[in-house]
Chains A and B, each alone.
Chain A
Amino acid sequence: MSDDPMALSLWRRRLVLTWLLAPALLWLLLLIVMPHSDLAVLALRRRVAPHVYEPSLLQFKTFFTEPLYWHVFVRTAIMSALATALTLLIAFPAAWIITKVARGRAGSLLFVVCLIPFWVSETVRALGWLILLRETGVLPALLVKLGITDMPVEMLYHDATILVGLVYTSLLFMVVPLVNSLESLDNALIEAAYNLGAGGASILRHIVIPHAAPGITAGCIIVFMLTLGNYLTPTLLGGKNSQWFTELIYTQFIVRFNWEQGAAFGFLLLGLSTAMVAVGLRLSGQRFVDVMRRT
C-alpha cells in the first residue's frame, strides 16, 4: 500500500469518498427522488375533509371519465409523434448533405450554421413565428401581394402551425445524433454497393438506415420527449382549442390549486414519455445509458 504513490490512507480515502458522494446524493435525493415520491403520494390520495386524506385512485378515474382530459392527452401524444417523424424527414437529408455530399469545410460550416438558431432562446424563436404567421404578419401579407390570396389569412392557431414550431425547435436534437452516426459510415460501402448496381433506394434501405439506426433512435427519443414536455411553443402558436397536456398540468397546479389532479396528470405524462423511450430502446436494442451519452 505505502509504496503505491496513488494510495491515500484508508481513512482519508473514506473521507474523500464521503465528500464526493454527499453532493451527488443530496442533489438526487432532495431534487429528484423525494420530490417525485411526494408527487406520487399527492397523485394517489384524496381529500375527504380539511387536512384528512385517504388513498384513492380518484384522480386517475377523473382523467379517464372526463373526455376533455384524455382527448388532450391523446392529441398531445399524436402531435408529438407527428412532429418527431417530420423532424426526422427534414433533418435526415440535411445530415446526409453535411456528412456525405458537402466537400471539405463546406460540411462543417453547414453544420455550425445549423446549430446557430438553437443558441437563441425558444421565446425568441416563437416570437419569430408569431410575427411571420399571424393574420397581420409577414407571410399573409406576402401572399396577398403575390396575388395568391385576396385577404390576409390567419396562419396561427392551427395544428400545422404548432407542428412547424415544434419541428423548428427540435431540429438540432435530431441533426446532431444523425450527423454523428452518418459520419462513421464508410463511404467505400456505398461506393461498393453502387458499383455492384444497387440503386439509391436500395442503398438507403440496406446500408444507410441500418448503420444510422442508433442515431435515428436517439434523435427520435430526445425529440419526442422534448415535444411532449414542451409548453411555450404550443401555447403561443396554438389556439384556445388546441391545448397541450402540459397546459392542463399547469392549470391544475397553478391556476386551480388542485395539486392532486395536477400530480396525477404529471405522472401520466411521465408514464407516456417513459413508455415511448422504452419502446424506442427495445426496437433498436440499445441501452438507455448509451443513448444519453450519444447526444
Chain B
Amino acid sequence: MISTLPRPVWLRTATALYVAAFLVFLFLPLTTVAVFAFNNAPYPAPPWRGFTLDWFVGNAGNGRLGLFHDTELLGSIVTSLIVACWVTLLSVIIGTANSFLMERWEFPGKQALSVLMLVPLVIPGVILGISILALSSRIAELADSLFGWDLDFLRPGLPLVVAGQFSYVATITTLMISARLKRFDRTLEEAALNLGASHAAVLRTITFPYLRPALIGSAAIAFLMSFENFNTTLILVGNDAPLTVTMYGRMREGASPVLNAVSLFLMLASAALALSLLRGSKRAS
C-alpha cells in the first residue's frame, strides 16, 4: 500500500524486511569481493587469516605477486583503456551526427533507418561478434588471394574489438544525444542567425554548449559499456586481451586474491564515475 494509506504493522515489518534482504542481496557479492582482497591466504576463501596488502603490493617472501607487479593484469587494464577510448570517441562522434540527422533532416527512408539504428541493441553480443568476425575474415582472405594483401586489422585483434563494441554502443549514444537535441529550443538558433551569426558560430556557441551534458553523459556510458563488455570482445579478441577477458581466463583456472584486488579498483573507479555523473547531471538540470 502507498505511504498515504494506513498500513498494518505486519505490512510495515514485511516492507522493512524486504528492503533489508534486497540490499543484502545487492551488496553481499561486492562486499565479499572487496573484503577478500585483504585476506592473508592464497585463495579468496574463508576462514579469515588476518589483514594483508600482499595482493596489492606483492610479497617476495612467500612468492605472492601483487596486483602492482602483475604485468599481465596491468597490461590488460591498459588494453581495456585504449579500446574504451576509441569506442567512446567513435560512438560519441557518430552518435552526434546521427542525432542531427534524425532530429533535423527529412529524407526518404528515414523511418527505416531509425528502426535499423535500434537493431544492434536486440542482437545478442555473441552474435554481433561472430557476424563481424565472419565478414572481416572473409574480406581478409579475399584480399589475400586476389591481391596478396595482408590486412592484419581484419584478423581477430583490437581493431575488431573496437568495431564490435562500437557497433552497439553507437546506438546508445545516438539515443542519449537525440533525446537532448529533441528538447532544444530552435528559436535560439534562429535568433542568433538573425543577428548575423554564421551556421558554424551558432553550432559552436549555442547548440553544442546546450548538448554538452548529453555528450559528457553518453561518453561516460560508452566508456563504461566498452570497458565492461565481455561477450563481443571474447569472440573478436586476438593476442592482447582486455581486462574482462583476462579476468575470465584467470577465474576459470581458479581465482586468486589478485583478482579481488583488481576488482576493488574497478568498483572504486565505477563509483567515482557514477558519483561525478550524478553530480554533473544535478548541476545541469
A contacts, CB < 8 Å to B: 5-6, 8, 17, 19-21, 23-24, 27-28, 31-36, 38-39, 42, 90, 93-94, 97, 100-103, 110, 112-117, 119-132, 134, 136-138, 141, 168, 171, 187, 190-191, 194, 200, 225, 228-232, 236, 246, 249-250, 253-254, 259, 262-263, 266, 269-270, 273-274, 277, 288-289, 292-293
* Cβ-defined contact, A24 with B271, below 8 A: no
CA distance A168 to B117 in the complex (A): 29
By a beta-carbon cutoff of 8 Å, the part of chain B in contact with chain A is 1-5, 15, 18-19, 22-23, 25-30, 32-33, 36, 43-47, 93-94, 97-98, 100-101, 105, 107, 113-128, 130-135, 138, 163-164, 166-167, 170, 175, 186, 189-190, 193-194, 199, 224, 227-228, 230-231, 234-235, 243-244, 247-248, 251-252, 255, 259-260, 263, 266-267, 270-271, 273-274, 278
A190 and B98 CA atoms in complex are apart in Å by 42
Bound Cα distance from A8 to B105, whole angstroms? 13
B81 nearest CB across to chain A (Å): 14
| Interface pairs (7), CB distance under 8 Å | A31-B167, A110-B19, A119-B274, A128-B32, A225-B122, A230-B231, A274-B122
| Pairwise interchain contact B227-A31, C-beta atoms closer than 8 A | no
Name B5's contact: one of A103, A190, A229, A277 (CB within 8 Å). A190
Question: How many angstroms between the C-alpha atoms of A236 and B132 in the bound complex?
Answer: 25
B115 in complex: contacting residue of A130, A250, A289, CB < 8 Å = A289
Distance (whole angstroms) from the CB of B53 to the closest CB of chain A? 19
With known contacts A6-B189, A128-B28, A229-B125, A39–B130 Cβ distance under 8 A: yes
Q: Assess the A27–B94 pair: CB atoms within 8 A.
A: yes
For A236, what are the chain B residues with a Cβ–Cβ distance below 8 Å?
248, 251-252
A-B contact sample (15 more), CB < 8 A, given A101-B2, A134-B45: A17-B101, A27-B166, A35-B131, A35-B135, A90-B22, A97-B18, A101-B3, A127-B260, A190-B1, A190-B2, A191-B4, A229-B125, A229-B126, A269-B124, A292-B122
